[in-house]
Every structure is written in structure tokens, then in C-alpha cells.
Structure 1
């Protein structure tokens, strides 16, 4: 069971972070923030499909075709933890060495999109100041950055774990004796 969890978790982590790393390196700022977010979350959902693979593999090969909701959820959450940790670790390295100006680029693109969206100057000023304060904390506090990054990915894995556990749970059927 441990091997299934580790393999699925590591592969899911690598898949989930692939969009972010590739989009920063190749695409840059040519897509809107909303489009980048949609692709990012779609990649996470794709990555977390490995939760279904891990639970089904365990159920069919190590548990005689049976698994409870709790056991399936536990496997899914462990895969989520490993995948999320891989995601966070790779992002922390990427941020530190390859995109240390991420916050500035993100802010500039967000402000440009707010202007294009027709927001008032006062509203843009307000949101820009809030964003600047958060980005300062994001850049200067590795713990805050890690926590924030976990909050991006972990909820997706938790939801996928719940869905997979509900879909894949299978209890043994009681045997009936005909008298």
C-alpha cells in the first residue's frame, strides 16, 4: 500500500506543478490571470485523478476487491499530502531561483487587467495596495508562501479524495444461507 501511495502522490505532484513551471518558462504573461488559473486547476484535477488509480489499485490488488469509505479516504488524503508537498517544494525552488519577481509580474498583470476591465482609479489603487502588502509578505516569508501554496492545491485533492472514496468504496456483501 505504501508504494501505491508514494508513487501516485509523487507523480500527481509532478503533474500538478507542470502547468505552473511550464507557463512561467514558456508562455509567460501572454495569457490572462483567469485563463492561467483555469489551466492550473485543470492540471491539478488531472493530477489528482491518480487518487482514483491509487484507491482502485489498493482495493483490487490488496484488499480482496473491498474497501471502506474511511480507508479509501485515508489513501486519497495521503496521496493528496504527498502530491501537495511535491507541488509546494517545487514551487518554493522555482520561486527562489527562477521567478523571484513573480509577485511584481503578477501585480502588474492584475493592475493591467483591472484597467482593461474598466475599474475606477480608486478601486484599482485600493486593490493594488492590498495586493502589494500581500506580495511583500509572500516574498519575505517562506512559511507564508508555503502555507499559501498548500492552500492552492490541497482543497482540490481533498475534494477528489472524497469523490473517489464515495465512488470506489465497496463492502463485502453478506452471504446468505438458504435453508
Structure 2
């Protein structure tokens, strides 16, 4: 069981982080922030489909085709924890060594998109101040950066774990004897 969890978790983590790293390196700001957000979460959902693979593999290979909701959920959550940790570690390395200007680029693109959409100067100023404050905390506080990054990915894995547990649970049928 450990091999299934670790394999699915590590691969899910690697898949989930590919869009974030690749988009910053290759695409830059040629896509809108909403498009990047959509593609990022789509990649996470794709990555967390490995939860279904892991739970089904465990159920069919090691547990005679049977698994309870709780056991399936536990496997899914462990895969989520490993995948999320891989995602966080890779992003922290990328942010610290290759994308330390991410906050400034994000804010510049957000301002440009707000101006293009016709938002008022007051609204843009307010949003810019809020984003600058959050980015300042993000850059200066390592625990905040770790927590914030986990909060990007872990909820997706938790939801996928719940869905997988509901779909794949398969309790044994008790045999009835006719007398």
C-alpha cells in the first residue's frame, strides 16, 4: 500500500506543479490571469486523478475488490498530502531561485487587466494596495508562503479524495443462507 500511495503522490505532485513552473518560464504574461488560474486548477484536477488510480489499485490488488469509504478516503488524503508537499517544495525552490519577481509581475499584469477592463482609478488603487500588502507578507514570511501554497492545492486533493472514496467504495456483500 505504501508504494501505491508514494508513487501516486509523487507523480501527482510533479504533474500539478508543471503548469505553474512552465507557464512562468514559457508563457509569461501572454495569457490572462483567469486563463492561467483555470489551467492551473485543471492541471491539479488531472494530477489528482491519480487518487482514483491509487485507491482502485489498492482495492483490486490488495483488498480483494473491497474497500470502505474510510480506507479509500485515507488513501486519497495521504496521496493528497504527498502531492501537495511536492508541489509546495518545488514552488518554494522555484520562487526563491528563479521567480522571485513573481509578485511584481503578477501585480503589473493584474493592473494592466483592470485598466483594460475599464475599472476606475480608485478601484485599481485599492486593489493594488491590497495585492502589494499580501505580496509583501508572502515574500517576508516563510510560514505564510508555505501555508498559502498548501491552500492553493490541498483543497483540490481533499475534494478529489472524497469523490474517489464515494465512487470506489465497495463493501463486501454478506452471504445469505436459505434454510
Report the TM-score range of the alignment, normalised by the length of the smaller protein. Answer: over 0.9
Q: Secondary structure at the match of 2:175?
A: coil
Deviations 1:6-54 (A, max 9, x none): 0000000000000001101111111000000000000000000000000
Q: Secondary structure at the match of 1:173?
A: coil
Matches within 5 A, 1:97-136: 97-136=97-136
CA distance, structure 1, for counterparts of residue 107 and residue 142 of structure 2: 19
Deviations 1:85-122 (A, max 9, x none): 00000000000000000000000000111111111000
Extract unaligned runs of 5+ from structure 2: none
- Partner of 1:164 in structure 2? 164
Task: Check if 1:11 corresponds to 2:20.
Answer: no
Deviations 1:119-148 (A, max 9, x none): 100010011001000001111111111110
CA distance, structure 1, for counterparts of residue 63 and residue 118 of structure 2: 58
What is the aligned length? Answer: 179
- Partner of 1:68 in structure 2? 68
TM-score normalised by the chain length of structure 2 = 0.99
Q: Secondary structure at the match of 1:67?
A: coil
Return structure 1 stretches of 4+ with deviation > 4 angstroms.
none
- Partner of 1:37 in structure 2? 37
- Partner of 1:149 in structure 2? 149
CA distance, structure 2, for counterparts of residue 150 and residue 46 of structure 1: 17
Task: Check if 1:28 corresponds to 2:28.
Answer: yes
CA distance, structure 2, for counterparts of residue 74 and residue 119 of structure 1: 46
- Partner of 1:77 in structure 2? 77
Task: Check if 1:54 corresponds to 2:54.
Answer: yes
CA distance, structure 1, for counterparts of residue 48 and residue 112 of structure 2: 33
Extract unaligned runs of 5+ from structure 1: none
